[in-house]
Amino acid sequence: MNFSVWQGEWSYILLFIAGFCVTQPWRYMGVVLSKDVSIDSEVLVWVNLVSTALVAGLVARLLLFPAGAVAEVPLALRMLAFLGGMGLFMVLRQSMAAGVLGGIGILVAGIVLIGI
C-alpha cells in the first residue's frame, strides 16, 4: 500500500487539492450560472447518471476490495451482510434504519461466530 504521500503535514495540501478544490468550484459555478444562464437539462441528466454510476462503483469496491478491518472479513460474509441489509430495507418499506442495523448486525454476528 502506497499511503505515504497522503501522510504527514504536507498531506493537508494534497487533501485540500483533491477534496475542496475539485468540489467547491462546482458550487460557485452554480451560484454564477443561476443568475441568468439556463443549463442544458440533457447535460444535467448525464451528470446525474455519471455520479450515480460512480457511487455504484464505489459500493462494489467497498465490498470487494475493502481496506482495513473489513478486509479481514471473508467475502461471503461481506456479501451476505450487504445483501441482507438491502433485503431488509426493501421488505420493511424502505426503512434505512432496518437496512443499516440489519446489515451491520449480520456482519458483526458473523465476525463473532467465525472468530476473526
Partner 1 sequence: MTADGSDPGLQAPAWTKGATQRQALLRGARRAFGSLPAFVVFATAIGFGALARDAGFDLWQTLFIAATIFALPGQVVLVQQAAAGATLLAAALAVMLTSVRFLPMTVALLPWLRDGSRQRTKEYLLSHFMAITVWLESRRWLPVLPPNLRMPFFAGFALMIYVGNTSAAVIGYVVAANVPTPLAAGLVFLTPLYFGMSLILTAVQWPFAVAIAVGAIVGPVAFVYAPGFDLALSGLVGGTVAYGLKRWREGR
Distance CA 99, CA 108 (A): 14
Tell me: does residue 34 bind partner 1 (CB under 8 A): yes
Among 33, 75, 91, 92, binds partner 1 (CB under 8 A): 33
Tell me the DSSP string of the chain.
---GGGSSTTHHHHHIIIIIHHHHHHHHHHHHHTTTPPPPHHHHHHHHHHHHHHHHHHHHHHHHS--GGGGGS-HHHHHHHHHHHHHHHHHTTT-HHHHHHHHHHHHHHHHHHHT-
**85-114 positions binding partner 1, by CB under 8 A:** 85-86, 89-90, 94, 96, 99-100, 103-105, 107-108, 111-112
Q: How many residues bind partner 1 (CB under 8 A)?
A: 76
Among 59, 75, 91, 92, binds partner 1 (CB under 8 A): 59
**12-31 positions binding partner 1, by CB under 8 A:** 12, 14-24, 26-31
Tell me: does residue 80 bind partner 1 (CB under 8 A): no
Least Å distance, CB 64 to partner 1, is: 5
